[in-house]
Structure 1
Amino acid sequence: MILTVTLNTALDITYRTPRLVPHATHRVSEVIERPGGKGLNVARVLAALGHETVVTGFAGGRTGDVLRELLPNAPDPRGSSASGFVSVDTPGSFAPPVDALVPIAGATRRTVAVVDETTGDTTQLNEPGPVVSPAEWAAFLARYEELLAVADAVALCGSLPPGIHVGAYADLVRAARGAGVPVLLDTSGEPLRRGIAARPDLVKPNADELARLTGSREPLRATRDARRRGAHAVVASLGPDGV
C-alpha cells in the first residue's frame, strides 16, 4: 500500500467560460468539483496505475464533507479530460484511494480555477487552509503511525495549513524512516528546508522551489546541493524542460 499525506487538502472547483473579461459578468459553460491537494492528486494517479493507495490528512466543514463524498467517485485519470491529468494507458479497473482523512473543526479550503476557453488561460484563486488545533494534530499523528505500520511507501505532499509547525514534515519524515518506510517529500520553502534535513529518500521540487532552497538556478548544481542537505535522491520538475 502507498500512503499519501495531504495536510492542506482542498475542494478544487473549476469554472469554464467562453471568455474572461475584467469587470464583466460571465456565463459559465461548465463547473467541475473534485478532491484536491497534491497528495490526493498523486494518490489518484497511483490508483490508476494499479497501486493500492490510502490518503490521509485533514478534512472539515461542508467543503470537507463534499471532498470526502467525491473521493470514491473521483474521475479515473486515464484519459479523462475533466480530471486535469495526462492520460495514462493501464489495464484493469480503477479503484479509488481509500479515505483515511482526519476530521477537523475548520472548513477545508477551496481552490477556484477560471478557465478562459478562448485563450486557454487559467486564473487560479487559492483560499488559505483551516487552522489545525493541537488536539487535531495529535489525532493525525496517531493515524499516521497506524498507517505507517502497513505502508510500503509514503508521499508527503503540499503546503502546511495554519496551526501546524513549520518542522512538521521533518517529524513525519523521521517517523517514516523509523518505521523503515521509504518516504518522498514534495513541498516548498521552510518546510522543505527542514524536511530535507531529516533525510527523505526522495524530494520532488520544481525549478523555483529548488532554487529557493539552494540559491542556484543551475539544475545539476542545485540538485547536488539538495543531496548534500540530506535528500537521498532529487527529481526536479523543470517545466517545459522536463525533469
Structure 2
Amino acid sequence: MILTVTLNTALDLTYGVPELVPHASHRVSDISERPGGKGLNVARVLSALGHETVVTGFAGGSTGTVLRELLAGLSPQDTRSRNTEPGAPEADVPRTGPRTGATGTSPEGQDDRAIPADAAPAPHASSAARSAPAPITDALVTVAGNTRRTIAVVDRTTGDTTQLNEPGPLVSADEWSAFLVRYRELLAGADAVALCGSLPPGIHVGAYAELVRPARAAGVPVLLDTSGEPLRRGIAARPDLIKPNADELAQLTGSRDPLRATRDARRRGAHGVVASLGPDGMLAVTPDGVWRASPPDRVRGNPTGAGDSAVAGLLSGLVEGLAWPDRLRRAVALSAATVLSPTAGDFDRTAYEELLPRVDVEEHRPAA
C-alpha cells in the first residue's frame, strides 16, 4: 500500500471557456469537479497504475462532503452510503485497510473506506501490459472547517489555464493531534508515503518535518512535495526524496542553475532530489547517480496535476524496485500525458503509452 497525505484537500473545479478575456463576462462551455489536492491527484494516478493507495489528510464542511462522495465514485445527490459526521452510523460500504497495522475506526470515528477508482489503467514503465485500477481507501480525518475549492479556468482556444486557489479550513490543535494518531497507524501498513501540497491555516510550518520523522523511524520511504518554508523545514528531517519544481528549488537554494541547486538541496538533508524542469523534463540527483530525463516533444495543454503525476511515477517506480532511469522515464511520460488531459488528476493513457519509450534519459558523469 502507498500512503498519500494531503493536509489541504480541495474540490477541484475546472471551467472551460471558448476564450478567456480579462475584464469580460464569460459563458462556460464545460464544467468538471473532482476531489483534489496534490496527494489525491497522486493517488488517482497510482490507482491507474495498479497500486493500492490510502489517502489521508483533512476534509470538512459541505465541500468536504462533496469531495468524499466524488472520491467514492458517488454522485453528490446520492448520500445514502455516506454519513460524514464523526461517530455516525454508516450504510454498508466495502472496506479495506492497510495490509498490516491498525484497522477499524479513525480517531474521528470514521472507518477507512475502500473506493473503486475510476481512473483509466496505464502500463508500467518497463511493460506494455496494463494493470487493473487498484482501490483507493479514504482515511481522511473530519475537521469542523469547510474544505477549500480550487478553480481552473481553461481557455479552449489557447489551452492556457488560470488557477484560483482558496486557502483551506482552519485546523485546530485537537484536529491535528487526531490526524497524527491516524497517520502513525497508517504507516504500519505502508510501502511508501507521499507528503504533498500546501498547509491549511492552523498547521505549524514545521508540520512536514514532524511527519517525515516517524516515517523514517518506521523504515517507510517518504517523498516530500511542497514549497517555501514547509519545504525548508521538512528537508532538514531528511526525507528520502523531494520533488521541487524549478521555482521552488530556486527559492530553497537561491540558485537558478538546476544542477547546482539540486545538489545544494541534497546537502540540506534530502537523500535524493528530483527537480521538475517543466517542458525540459526532470533532473535527478541521487545517491546512485545523476540523470536527466527529457520528453520527446513539447506538449501544450492544462499543466494542473502534471507534477502530481510525476510524483506517482516516482513512487510507483520506487515500490516496484525500478532502476532510476525507468522511474524517471515513467515520471516524465506521465507528467506530459497529464498536460494533455484537461482535468487535474487524469492523464491521457494513449499519450502516455506513446511517450513512454521515447523519453530520453541520460546519465550525467562528472568531467575527468
- TM-score norm. by structure 1 comes to 0.93
Cα deviation per residue 1:159-178 (whole Å; 9 max; x = unaligned)?
10010000000010001011
1:49 maps to amino acid = L
- d(CA) in 2 for partners of 1:213 and 1:130? 26
Work out which of the two has the higher radius of gyration on C-alpha atoms and give 1 or 2: 2
- d(CA) in 2 for partners of 1:67 and 1:90? 32
* Cα deviation, residue 185, structure 1: 0.4
- d(CA) in 2 for partners of 1:173 and 1:198? 6
- d(CA) in 1 for partners of 2:181 and 2:253? 33
* Cα deviation, residue 14, structure 1: 0.5
Cα gap change, 1:172 to 1:154, in 2 (>3 Å): same
1:105 maps to amino acid = A
Cα gap change, 1:211 to 1:77, in 2 (>3 Å): farther
Unaligned runs of 5+ in 1: 80-87
Does residue 20 of the first structure (1) align with residue 20 of the second (2)? yes
- Matches for 1:97-108 after TM superposition, within 5 Å: 97-108=136-147
- d(CA) in 1 for partners of 2:234 and 2:22? 41
1:71 maps to amino acid = L
- d(CA) in 1 for partners of 2:53 and 2:129? 16
Cα deviation per residue 1:119-155 (whole Å; 9 max; x = unaligned)?
2221111111111000100110010000001111100
- The more displaced of 117-126 and 204-213 is 117-126
* Cα deviation, residue 24, structure 1: 2.8
- d(CA) in 2 for partners of 1:119 and 1:78? 28
Which residue of the partner structure matches residue 362 of structure 2?
none
Q: Helix, strand or coil for the counterpart of 1:235?
A: strand
Cα deviation per residue 1:87-130 (whole Å; 9 max; x = unaligned)?
x9752432341100000000000000111112222111111111
Cα gap change, 1:92 to 1:225, in 2 (>3 Å): closer
Which residue of the partner structure matches residue 247 of structure 2?
208
1:141 maps to amino acid = L
- d(CA) in 2 for partners of 1:108 and 1:19? 29
* Cα deviation, residue 29, structure 1: 1.4
- d(CA) in 1 for partners of 2:121 and 2:155? 24
- d(CA) in 1 for partners of 2:242 and 2:228? 13
Q: Helix, strand or coil for the counterpart of 1:236?
A: strand
- d(CA) in 1 for partners of 2:148 and 2:118? 20
Q: Helix, strand or coil for the counterpart of 2:50?
A: coil
Q: CA RMSD in A?
A: 1.5
CA contact (8 A) 1:49 1:90 kept: no
How many residue pairs are counted as aligned between the two chains? 235
Give the one of 270, 274, 282 matched to 1:235.
274
2:200 maps to amino acid = P
Percent identity, aligned pairs only, is 80
- d(CA) in 1 for partners of 2:62 and 2:225? 27
Unaligned runs of 5+ in 2: 74-116, 283-368
2:25 maps to amino acid = T
CA contact (8 A) 1:72 1:96 kept: no
